[in-house]
Chains A and B, each alone.
Chain A
Amino acid sequence: MTPALNLLVNGEPRTVPAPATLADLLRHLRLDARAVVVELNRIIVRRPELGRTRLSDGDQVELVHFVGGG
């Protein structure tokens, strides 16, 4: 059995195969890294770092983008 990481992504439980980086998570969610900003455990991770940033079990990830607003 492949080891898995249990994450909290945008407040929802998500499981990804281990090992995984933030770039892997975005691919898994079919999100374009250029269109989102990523926070890992409340710290912003810049785009060049996404492929180098390993996820750990229990990590909290926030994926945000711009929406309509006033």
Chain B
Amino acid sequence: MSEPLALGGREFRSRLFVGTGKYRDPAEMVAAIEASGAEVVTVAVRRVDLNRANREGILHYLDPDRFFLLANTAGCYTADEAIRYARLAREAGFNPFIKLEVIGDRDTLLPDVAGLQVAARTLVQEGFQVLAYTNDDLVTALRLEDAGCAAVMPLASPIGSGLGLLNPYSIRTIKRRLSVPIIVDAGVGTASDACVTMEQGVDGILMNTALAEAQDPVLMATAMRLAVEAGRAAFLAGRMARREVAVPSSPALGMLAS
């Protein structure tokens, strides 16, 4: 239960990774992240807004000594664009990890799996630890592992949808066939989604909207922390076999005479 998650040469105690987007205010974000117990926290790379008096980036609120900053390439639609953002992120000087996204469709935010593989190969060659956000397709996941990705991050359902784990079979298959850590990224809506996802045997979950858009993000973060731990423990414990008939839990013998 307490075995750490080894990823890209690092070890993490928490299997819950959280995003920092879409919170109502920074104080609520920090409180939710603390309640989640997450060590890995994702951030995006964007232009400094020169026309605003308050130009504080996220690091004004998040202590980079306390959290492991995982920069993403969210919003990138080509391999070249994602590579450019990854290089900028690394230059910030925290770590060589990148959550690689190459988006292929504006409506569903599903990945461009061809562009993703090109970007992954280039970034691995440049020494990045690449965590590749992808769909729940086994063959793409295998190609990303071949490209040298440190982790593969298949979606549970589309980004920000909160639809939960749509295809447990695909996620189990990816986990069974790949050796690198599998971190399910996107789509988890509530604690039961997180628990069911972890019960598939994956190594962790990354979520953002499920916390940021909860009525009470701090309480939901607590629920998610417990759900990820519960799902991991249930997976390791090994569930009972499913039966189509009832089997009594109390002895059939020793009943009173009728």
Interface flag for A64 (CB, 8 Å): yes
Digitize B202-224: 1 where CB-to-A-CB distance is under 8 Å, 0 elsewhere.
Answer: 00001111000000000000000
- Alpha-carbon separation in the docked complex, A25 to B244 (Å): 72
Which residue from A35, A44, A46 sits with its C-beta under 8 Å from B57?
A: A35
> A65 contacts B72, CB within 8 Å?
no
Given contacts A44-B91, A70-B209, contact A35 B59 (CB under 8 A): yes
- Contact residues in B for A46 (Cβ distance below 8 Å): 91
Q: Is the CB of A67 within 8 A of B88?
A: no
Q: Which residues does chain A contribute within 8 Å of B91, judged by CB atoms? A: 37, 44, 46
Which residue of chain A has its CB nearest to the CB of B55? A31
Whether B42 lies near A69 (C-beta < 8 A) is: yes
Mask of B174-208 contacts with A, CB within 8 angstroms, 1/0: 00000000000010000000000000000000111
Q: Which B31-71 residues have C-beta < 8 A from chain A?
A: 42-48, 50-51, 55, 57-59, 69, 71
Whether A70 lies near B208 (C-beta < 8 A) is yes
The 4 closest A-B pairs by CB, nearest first: A69-B44, A70-B19, A70-B208, A65-B57
User: A: which residues have CB within 8 A of B?
Assistant: 9-12, 14, 29, 31, 35-37, 39, 42, 44, 46, 62-70
Query: A66 to B59, Cβ gap below 8 A?
Result: yes
Residue B46 contacts which of A12, A29, A67 (CB distance < 8 angstroms)? A67
Residues B19 and A37 in contact, CB atoms below 8 Å apart? no
Apart from A37-B92, A64-B47, what 19 extra A-B contacts exist at CB < 8 Å?
A: A31-B55, A35-B59, A44-B87, A44-B88, A46-B91, A63-B47, A64-B48, A65-B46, A66-B59, A66-B71, A66-B92, A67-B43, A68-B21, A68-B23, A68-B58, A69-B19, A70-B19, A70-B20, A70-B74
Complex-state Cα separation, A44 to B59, whole angstroms? 21
Which one, A35, A65, A68, contacts B20 given CB within 8 A?
A: A68
Residues from chain B with Cβ under 8 Å of A37 in the complex: 45, 88-89, 91-92
8 Å CB contact of A66 from B19, B58, B207: B58
List 24 A-B residue pairs with CB atoms under 8 Å apart, sorted by A's residue number: A9-B50, A12-B51, A29-B50, A31-B55, A35-B59, A37-B45, A37-B88, A44-B88, A64-B46, A64-B88, A65-B57, A66-B59, A66-B69, A67-B44, A67-B46, A68-B20, A68-B44, A68-B58, A69-B44, A69-B208, A70-B72, A70-B74, A70-B160, A70-B207
Q: Is the contact region of chain B dominated by helix, strand, or loop, or is it mixed?
A: mixed
Q: Which residue of B lies closest to A11 (CB)?
A: B47
B22 within 8 A of partner (CB): yes
CA distance A65 to B85 in the complex (A): 11
Interchain CA distance A58-B208 in the complex, whole Å: 40
The minimal Cβ–Cβ distance linking B69 to chain A, given in whole angstroms, is 7
Q: Which B residues are CB-close (under 8 A) to A66? A: 43-45, 57-59, 69, 71, 89, 92
Chain A's nearest CB lies how many Å from the CB of B2? 27
Task: Report B-chain residues with C-beta under 8 Å of the C-beta of A12.
Answer: 50-51
